[in-house]
Chain A
Amino acid sequence: GAGVSQSPSNKVTEKGKDVELRCDPISGHTALYWYRQSLGQGLEFLIYFQGNSAPDKSGLPSDRFSAERTGGSVSTLTIQRTQQEDSAVYLCASSLASSGGIYEQYFGPGTRLTVT
């Protein structure tokens, strides 16, 4: 079946602009995760959503970053007033569930964000 999809695959933006990154999880997956991969910081957790529970936002690096998940499916990661240090590959993953159990996370191909 279809895997996790992300759009756009590449995004170039000017410093100070806002960007929105989209993630379509695997159908039926109740948990959705965002990670960031950069040369300076490696692969780091940002936020995750599990069903109707409040999201775990503990990895968001600043209040310029936010995410929402509408209807328990598609998620959008928004970065306001982008800075050059926001340049990275943003990865989305989904799984059947995360609370109380172990479920494999399936990753999308990522969105490469470049802030000029």
Chain B
Amino acid sequence: GESVGLHLPTLSVQEGDNSIINCAYSNSASDYFIWYKQESGKGPQFIIDIRSNMDKRQGQRVTVLLNKTVKHLSLQIAATQPGDSAVYFCADPQAAGGTSYGKLTFGQGTILTVHP
């Protein structure tokens, strides 16, 4: 979704739990989405992406689900570890329209805290 002011959603989990982070998008024509992880003091880091011809994509301990009907993305992290603590953003290169993939529009982000 749009960033309209920063009261970031927070998710606090215990080490070993599974985490689910959600994101809504606005442009029904968007066909590609990306999840980024941002640790304190660092730039965002690519985690996983998904194209709209897929409903699900799996990586190492991460899965992204895409529901085009309700324009919703989720990032699932399995067996969450303290090193997963960070802010997680979804990004849509086509949120503002057009077909280019260069200009990322980021969601507001979710703060994930993993307790040992």
Contact = CB atoms under 8 A, between A and B. Distances in A.
A12 interface: no
A34 B44 CA distance: 13
Interface size class of B (residues with CB under 8 A): 20 to 34
Interface in B59-116: 89, 93, 96, 100-109
A43 B45 contact: no
A40 B103 contact: no
Given A42-B3, A43-B3, A109-B42, A102 B106 contact: no
Interface of B: 3, 5-6, 32, 41-46, 49, 89, 93, 96, 100-109
Interface of B is mostly: loop
Interface in A78-116: 91, 93, 95, 98-110
10 contacts: A4-B43, A41-B3, A58-B103, A91-B44, A95-B102, A102-B101, A105-B104, A106-B46, A109-B41, A109-B43
Interface residues of A, number: 32
B106 A50 contact: no
Contacts of B32: 102
Given A4-B43, A102-B32, A40 B102 contact: no
A102 B105 CA distance: 15
Contacts of A45: 103-105
